[in-house]
Structure 1
Amino acid sequence: MVPPPGVAQIVVAGVTDVKPVLVKRWESLAVPVRVLVGGPEGCGVDEWGRPREDDWAARELPWPDGDAGSVQVAADPRQQAEMVVGAVAARGEASSEVAIGAADEEVAGELVRAFGRRGGELFDPAGTASELGLARWFGIWRRWLAEPRLAAVADLLGRSETGVLVKGKRAQKARALCALRDEALADRARDVRKLLEGEMVRERDRESVGELATALEALEKWRDQFLAQGFVRSMERLVPILARTSERTADEAGVILEFVEEVREVAGRLNRDAGFWIEVMLASLPEKRAAAPDGRVADVVGWLELAFEPGRHLVVAGMNEGMVPARPSGEPWLSESGRRQLGLTTDALRAARDAFLFASLCAARRDGGRVDVVCGKTSAGGDALLPSRLLLAAGRGDLPARVTSLFREVEPPDAGLQWEADWKWEPPARPGPERMHVTGFGDYLACPTRFYLKQVVGMQRREVDRNEWNARDFGNVAHEVLERWGRDPEARDYSKTKAIGEWVEAEMETILEERFGGERPLAVAIQVESLRQRLWWFARKQACQRAEGWEVAEVEKRIAIEIGGMAVSGKVDRIDRHKDGRWRVLDYKTGKVKNAEGAHRVKVTGATRLPGHLEGDERLYALSADAKGREVRKVWRNLQLPMYAAGVAEMDGTPEVGYFLLGATEAGVGVESWSGFTAADRDSAMQCAELVVEKVQAGVFGPPAGRVEYDDFAELGMGRPLGEMVVTA
């Protein structure tokens, strides 16, 4: 640090946080350095404008009260912001006479929102910084360079800059990628290509998956070239292409290329990979800050900047320990004495500085001004906070009153208030369905709103970041194995456990090869062993069924019924025929089911609460006899098996119905029949189906049920009942 020629003196004004190492440098200069600071009388600073530790550690600090100000305690950051708004409004001064400060970033954000709710725009310079759009893109690109996984591709497709690399249609490709990651656990580009070569991709999706495969090939090519050509050359080729995205991107590209030019020479000498230089670039690029709006009421000023605010009315929030004074530096290996010897700022120096600033802020407003201080009890996350030690710097006579004020109980801001949503989800308006699937009736009986979101709007929860099967995946693979077994005339006629077990195990391996090739995630490999065990249990139970005279007659039989003008379709997993002429309809289940009838209807008791959209219609009920022959009233909640029975009406008589369970234990595998199922049960279920069709055709998709057994839309409720967060018809 050498002063320019002709400089006779250096003047530093308003700086109270001079680092000791800088003081040593100033002392070695050939010209004098003069430091000017403003503060109260006898301000206790050294010749370099630094508050003396011993002086300020023992000082009593002011406590604003009466006309001079106030000290308030709030429950959380939001209540702190409301108190600041109240303090500013009560004084009623021009905004030029008001200084608003926040020592806590959480409170600063709440201040902006609190003033905004009242029509005043508050500007927070510290809270508006954001990285360049291209910087975010290169952050994702770095992940793709490090490991070419589809999770990085999903994020790349979410950025507009990627469009020029994959020839557009980003949304369609992202949708196809999301489906493959969810349904097939695709993790790499080769997984997508393998799925496309096989039969797992549906015919209607082949075009979009093909376009996705082409896009992945393009991104892989760019990756290979980037890694091969090195950082500088690759950036000079790639950045101008990305700059075509928009005018904003073009401006940002110029900043990035300036960095590339600056590191050209050193990048050529250092043997570092492209990911290293991208990381350096991201750390070096300037933050993008929004310009202060012209019509703002005021600015939210940080603690250290408040000394330069001229407003006669000062309101400062976030006066909590850890904010004022700020938290220790946090290097466990560097002690206070070590920092002092190295010429770094110590915690004691920082505490003295903040005590000096607080005293100065109050002294500057003692003649006609006002200081309102707000501190919080808890953070936004619920962590307990302590008031700043500066507020407890008092003599023995005043300290008890300060402690009582600062540590008093504070009523939560929402106490006594009824919760009300600021806004609600509004699903797109769609006409009711022209056709329904058999399984959709159970969805509607459980909740009409969730039925609408799932069956009409087509909303579906995706789990793209998992590396294991969910319950749906496990069930789908088991169903596919047993479907292929049932379609093979020879295999389905096997009567020995060994023959059945070996066939279904081999077919399971074939299906897994189609889905994963030779590489299976570890979690899936463990789940495969569970499925293998269940299939062998199935083989044993199936051999017993064969010995009892049951034969598989048909699998995956499609049914079509018309109810009230509504076309209803379904697919029966399995139809068996007995040697004595009986028939039965079976549905495979890998989940937990107590019994077939209990999965479809339950006894009405005094505690039974019917869904609001179905109350008052007798078609919702069925009558059946209990174990003692007494008539019992039951309410339908699922119609699947009875509707299957109605769909195979060409068979002689009423078929038996039930589940073939594939449970997690051997005892949980086997046929679970609906004992005593009759034509009357089937007809009662069909009457309930007529009720559902009438409601659907009338557009009745609300109110939503409070609770359902499996809720795919719990996230929409955000912890509240769905009816409080979703607009329903």
Structure 2
Amino acid sequence: MHRFFLSWDKPACCAVAERLLAVEMDFYKHAVLVPTRESGRQLREFLTASCPEKAVFPPHVLPADQFIQPEEEEDEATRLEELAAWMQSLGDAPHRLYPRLFPKRMPDDFSSLLDMAAALQTLSHSMLNHGVTCGQAADACSGMDERWPDLSRLFSRCGGHLDGWQLRNRTESLLHAAAPSHLASTLLETGGQIIVACVPDIPRPLKHALRHAEEQGIPVQIWVHAPEEERDTFDDWGCPRPEIWAERAIPVREEQIRVTPGPGRLAAETCRIIAQTAESGKTDVALGVCDPDMNVALDARLRSYGWGLYNPEGRPFAGTGIMDLLRHLLLAVEENGKARPVFNLMRSSLLCASLGIRDQQYCCASLDRVRQKFLPETEEYLLKRLRTDHPGAIPSVCKILEWRDRMKEPRQLGERLLAWYPALAAAYGADTEAAETFHSCISGLARLQKKSGLFSAPAMALQLLMRCLHAARVKNGRKEHAVLDALGWMELHFRPEKNLIVTGLNEGIVPEGGMADQFMPEPLRESLGMDSFSRKKARDSFLLTALIHSREREGSLFFVLSRTSSRNDPLTPSSLLMRCADEELPRRVELLFRECSAPEPPLPYRRGGWHIQPAEGWKTATDITAMAPGYRNPWKEREKAFSPTTLKNFLACPMRFWVREALHLNEDEFQPDKEDMAANELGTMLHDVLEQFCRLHPSLEDGMTTASLQREIGEILDETFTRQYGSRPLMPLLLQKRSMEQRLNVYAEQHLEDLRNGWTCIAFEQSVENWRLGDFSLRFRIDRIDRHADGSLRVIDYKTGKTDSCEKKHLGTMKRPDALPLLSPALHPYTRRQKNGKAVHFRWKDLQLPLYVLWAMEEYCGRPTAAYYALPANPLDIGISAWDTLHDPQPGCDICALESARSWILELMRLIREGRGLITAEELGWDTPSYDVFKDLVSSSHETLQDLLGLNITPHLPF
């Protein structure tokens, strides 16, 4: 073997290409081994670009690990079949078959055994890729590790299963690796050579194949990306010596390091460096993404600059639509007869397209409506409700269920998936690699089920299939917007760009590993010549050193680090960045580990664009139609009656009220994944039960007892609950029902006490339509109205949660009463004086109970009182809270609360009818409402509302 040192004053790709061009122009007859597939593509492109005036015939370039890959044959075992063989070798009780390997009883569920089989499969690939057998490992342990005889038997049993299935174990051929016969013949015929170009890690099988090639008469050259004076720091194969490189200082300068608090800031800093580099006229920039976790943030930020990111390594198959569909199918198999899998399968656009279902959106909306209202637990109850409420969805849902039932047949999953595959491939479209990867695995599954009869249970077969697909990767097609490649650590060394940005250089990623292996401890890996941590550390030390030197004379190199991951887990900078002189180490550690936190985001109303207004100011936009010219005010057109809810929403924040109205924002979005009643649904059911109960028992009757009333109200609840949610509801629903039972038992007891105290229920769920107050029409519903034996009345509103007193719920103190005229000069605070003479100003937050009382005064005459009937989960808090002071002026007040409320109701309805009130709660000094439509609309840019409302909007900060 002849070693040749290329120097490292330029990138490896440039150095290799220049060497090839300098030696001879008939280099096409050589075979060049490069570190990775992407490195090979880069070398071919660079060779072509280096000779623009000549036709260049590139050499045979291939990744080093593919040089010894055996040719595929029809009887080769797929990864899935290998995994199945490992599963069979473990048996049902591995601790009995292999007591020294598994001294304790293992979990015997299928999933745990599958995890262990996958770990053993990975171990076998790692050993065979490095040319190591169980016998060699046992000899290296010198009898100190008793597990290897058991592992040897386990390996033999796995091979025996594959032989019994008439399948060839392709990894065994790596133990006798040789140069591919067709390539060797070509090289001998043309007089070509094998050039190992800057490959920093050569495993034993590759060394064996290269020696075999030399024995056949094919010259082998080792090209090293380092200067001649570094000759002694590399072995005969051009690999860095661990004893030297594992601790060697690395010339990283402090100004090359940028530390950021999180992925978002890392992406922003990366874009800033790219922009600065481009401004200086340097357009050849490469981006290294050592930690794939940073890809999402980088892609999002680069897109905002109009650049975009492309990942040559592709994306995990686990993130494809096919894998999602397999997960949903597994759930459907395991939860047979349950409703939940039907929802998930119908949401798969891939499945619907393959089955010819064209009304997926309608079906999903129908299913969501059924789930929202009825929360079905069983498939039977789901179909019953669909036939009643949404019969148009039944044909498509039945297609989904028929497909699922075909897949559930024992021993048929592989064949059924193969039969369905053409429709899937047609639906998948251009993403053929994902479909082909899937086809390869299901072909292996079908062959396995046919030959062995194993894994007949669909759930087991699916888990086996999904485990095999989980590790696969699928290439992405390069998008038009993609300007930069997200290069992995091993790709960076070969890139020709002079300006390089390396992100995510974290410990555990570079150098890789560092974790203890359950089968192969570090000392054993060292003695066997495998990829031990010290070898990886030496390799990465050399690669980082070469990167720095190759950009020293021309170009730039930056390392951008994040202190946390996308899941907010802490990250540690790579130890390679701390390989500096002892006197520099304290400063380097301080730089890498200093306190670094993201600034707190500004409050929503302090962000730019929160107070949005036309360029001339809101004073020119006198009403909502000037703000949103396309909006039609239903209250102005008298198409819509006023309600207590309308007034309450307006009082929360007038501006938000109008934005929500103008944009038609709907708060009642479906919640497809909910498993219990929402608060309003629970309240509606309690209202229904209480209405039925009070209609049966409005007044005191002979023989009434607490027990009889509790029994009767419980029966009403049972009937109402079953009618809504079926006979087999979800467990969370049953817990809510139990809570309602407890509340209603207390209510029945208190209801009897009220009746005995002289109260009689005279109205239930009283609907009020088109009631006139002044010139305005109102519509509302009153939960209950009672009359006492002395003739007094009270209006009651049920509250299913713990609530404040009526007064606190309706009135709030004003921090800035002087700002109220900004909304309307006709509105006046409700003012009281404390004992010390200080005036306290209140505003109305809600006008529900005063509105009910005003109607009841007109309907029944007299002075009705108002009350909340609280029904919270805690039985001790259940009871009536009356508002006895509504009609009487308080000390220091000019008018009573009811008269103040009347004036506010009339003025607010006038403002809404005229479309006025373009002012925010912040400007009025009111508390920010709990809902916030502005937060999502203007948190990123004020153009969002500009586009939606059709206005020229300019940012304006709050005063």
Shorter-chain TM range is 0.7 to 0.9
Deviation at 1:357, TM superposition (A): 1.0
Quote the Cα distance in structure 1 between the aligned partners of 2:941 and 2:898.
Answer: 33
Give 1:508-657 correspondences, 5 Å limit: 508-560=717-769, 561-562=771-772, 567-602=777-812, 604=813, 607=815, 615-619=823-827, 621-622=829-830, 634-648=842-856, 649-657=858-866
Deviation at 1:254, TM superposition (A): 6.8
Partner of 1:301: 487
Letter in 2 for 1:143: L
Query: 1:401-458 CA deviation, whole Å, 9 max, x = no partner?
Result: 5456555666868999997579999999753442343333222212346656877533
1:483 aligns with 2:691: yes
Q: Which residue of 2 aligns with 1:444?
A: 650
The 2-side partners of 1:180 and 1:453 are apart by: 30
Tell me the CA shift for residue 309 of structure 1. Answer: 1.5
Any unmatched runs of 5+ in structure 1? 198-205
User: For residues 678 and 453 of structure 1, what CA distance do their matches in structure 2 show?
Assistant: 36
* 1:546/1:538 CA distance change after superposition, 3 Å: same
CA distance in 2, matches of 1:422, 1:129: 39
Q: Which residue number corresponds to residue 137 of structure 1?
A: 325
Within 1, Cα distance between the matches of 2:601 and 2:832?
50
Residue by residue over 1:299-349, the C-alpha shift from the partner in whole angstroms, topping out at 9 and shown as x without a partner, is 343221122122334443333433322343564564212433565311111
After TM superposition, give the deviation of residue 74 of structure 1 in Å.
4.4
Alpha-carbon distance between aligned partners in 2 of 1:498 and 1:601, rounded to the nearest angstrom: 39
Amino acid at match of 1:478: L
Q: 1:531 to 1:139 in 2, by over 3 A?
A: closer
Report the CA distance between 1:704 and its aligned residue: 5.1
Task: Look up the match of 1:457.
Answer: 665
Note the C-alpha offset of 1:618. Answer: 4.1
Q: Is the 8 A contact 2:783 2:796 kept in 1?
A: yes
Contact 2:376 2:729 in 1 (8 A): no
Task: Tell me whether 587-596 or 662-671 shows the greater mean CA deviation.
Answer: 662-671
| Contact preservation (8 Å) 1:244, 1:250 | no
CA shift, 1:549, in A, is 1.4
**Among residues 154, 159, 164, which one is paired with 2:348 in the alignment?**
159
With over 3 angstroms needed to count, the CA separation of the structure-2 counterparts of 1:618 and 1:624, relative to structure 1, is farther
Task: Check the 8 A contact 2:179/2:212 in 1, yes or no.
Answer: no
Distance in 1 (CA, whole Å) between partners of 2:942 and 2:555 is 50
Answer whether contact 1:714 1:722 (CA < 8 A) is retained: no
Question: Take 1:213 and 1:288, find their aligned partners in 2: how far apart are those partners?
Answer: 36
Q: Percent identity?
A: 24
- Give secondary structure in 2 for the equivalent of 1:587: strand
- Name the amino acid aligned to 1:235: L
Which of the numbers 673, 682, 691 marks the counterpart of 1:474?
682
Q: Retained in 2: the 8 A contact 1:166–1:215?
A: no
CA distance in 2, matches of 1:51, 1:352: 6
Distance in 1 between residues matched to 2:861 and 2:207, nearest whole Å:
102
CA distance in 2, matches of 1:533, 1:705: 40
Label 1:126 to 1:51 Cα distance change in 2 as closer, same or farther (>3 A).
same
Name which structure has the greater RCO, CA cutoff 8 Å, separation 6+.
1
Report the more deviating stretch, 130-139 or 622-631.
622-631
Q: Which amino acid aligns with 2:478?
A: A
CA deviations on 1:236-291 (whole Å, 9 max, x unpaired) are 44444556657548997676556544543212232333344445555449644333
What corresponds to 2:632 in structure 1?
A: 431
Match of residue 504, structure 1, among 696, 701, 713: 713
Aligned to 2:904, the other structure's residue is in SS state: helix
> Post-superposition shift, 1:121?
5.1
Q: Secondary structure at the match of 1:177?
A: helix
Taking the aligned partners of 2:427 and 2:547, their CA distance within structure 1 comes to 49
Could you give the per-residue CA deviations for residues 363-419 of structure 1, whole angstroms, max 9, x where no partner exists? 334444544444445545555544433233233455455456555666868999997
Q: 1:219 to 1:482 in 2, by over 3 A?
A: same
Paired residue type of 1:537: V
**RMSD (Å) for aligned C-alpha atoms:** 4.5
Map 1:67-466 to 2 at 5 A: 70-76=256-262, 77-82=266-271, 84-85=273-274, 88-89=277-278, 91-95=280-284, 98-107=285-294, 110-112=297-299, 115-120=302-307, 123-126=310-313, 132-147=320-335, 149-163=338-352, 165=355, 167-193=357-383, 195=385, 207=389, 209-212=390-393, 215-228=396-409, 230-242=412-424, 245=427, 247-248=429-430, 256-257=438-439, 259-268=441-450, 269=452, 270-279=454-463, 281=465, 283-284=468-469, 287-292=473-478, 298-329=484-515, 331=517, 334-340=520-526, 344-379=530-565, 383-399=569-585, 402-403=588-589, 406=592, 420=607, 431-433=632-634, 434-448=640-654, 451=657, 457-466=665-674
Amino acid at match of 2:455: N
Q: Distance in 2 between matches of 1:547 and 1:175?
A: 50
Q: Deviations over 1:99-128 (max 9, x none)?
A: 443323355555555555445455443466
Q: Deviations over 1:568-590 (max 9, x none)?
A: 21111112222232222111222
**Contact 2:223–2:238 at 8 Å: present in 1 too?**
yes
Report the Cα distance in structure 1 between the residues aligned to 2:593 and 2:843, rounded to whole angstroms: 56
Partner of 2:234: 45
CA positional deviation for 1:657: 1.9
Of structures 1 and 2, the larger Rg is shown by 2
Change over 3 Å in CA distance of 1:527–1:699 after alignment to 2? same
Task: Determine the C-alpha separation between the residues in 2 that align with 1:216 and 1:416.
Answer: 47
Deviates further, 438-447 or 706-715: 706-715
Which 10-residue stretch deviates more, 353-362 or 69-78?
A: 69-78
> Are the aligned partners of 1:554 and 1:574 in contact in 2 as well (CA < 8 Å)?
yes
Residues 182-239 of structure 1 show CA distances to partners (whole Å, capped at 9, x for unaligned) of 3433333333345568xxxxxxxx64x3334554444333322321272134224444
Matched residue, 1:711: 930
Q: Secondary structure at the match of 1:597?
A: helix
Q: Which runs of 5+ in 2 are unaligned?
A: 1-176, 613-626, 635-639, 889-895, 950-959
CA 1:190–1:711 in 2, change beyond 3 Å: closer, same or farther?
Answer: farther
Deviations 1:497-541 (A, max 9, x none): 233222111111222222333434444333333322222221221
Q: Deviations over 1:46-67 (max 9, x none)?
A: 22332111011242222358xx
* Change beyond 3 A, Cα 1:37–1:564: farther
| Preserved contact between residue 821 and residue 827 of structure 2 (Cα < 8 Å) | no
Total equivalences in the alignment: 713
The residue aligned with 2:623 is: none
Matched, 1:690 2:866: no
CA pair 58-386 structure 1, distance change in 2 beyond 3 A: same
> What corresponds to 1:200 in structure 2?
none
CA contact (8 A) 1:493 1:552 kept: no
Cα distance, 1:113–1:226 mapped onto 2, change above 3 Å = closer
1:681 CA displacement: 4.4
| Compared CA separation, residues 614 and 717, structure 1 to 2 (3 A) | farther
What residue number does 1:203 align with?
none
Which 10-residue stretch deviates more, 378-387 or 511-520?
378-387
Alpha-carbon distance between aligned partners in 1 of 2:860 and 2:526, rounded to the nearest angstrom: 93
* Separation (CA, whole Å) in 1 of partners of 2:943 and 2:657: 17
Distance 1:380 1:236 in 2: 38
What is the distance in 2 between the residues matched to 1:622 and 1:417? 30
Equivalent position amino acid for 1:572 in 2:
I
Does the 8 A contact of 2:799 with 2:868 survive in 1? Answer: yes
* Distance change >3 Å, CA 415–CA 442, structure 1 → 2: closer
Q: CA-to-partner distance for each residue in 1:116-152, whole Å, 9 max, x for gaps?
A: 5445455443466675544543443333333255444
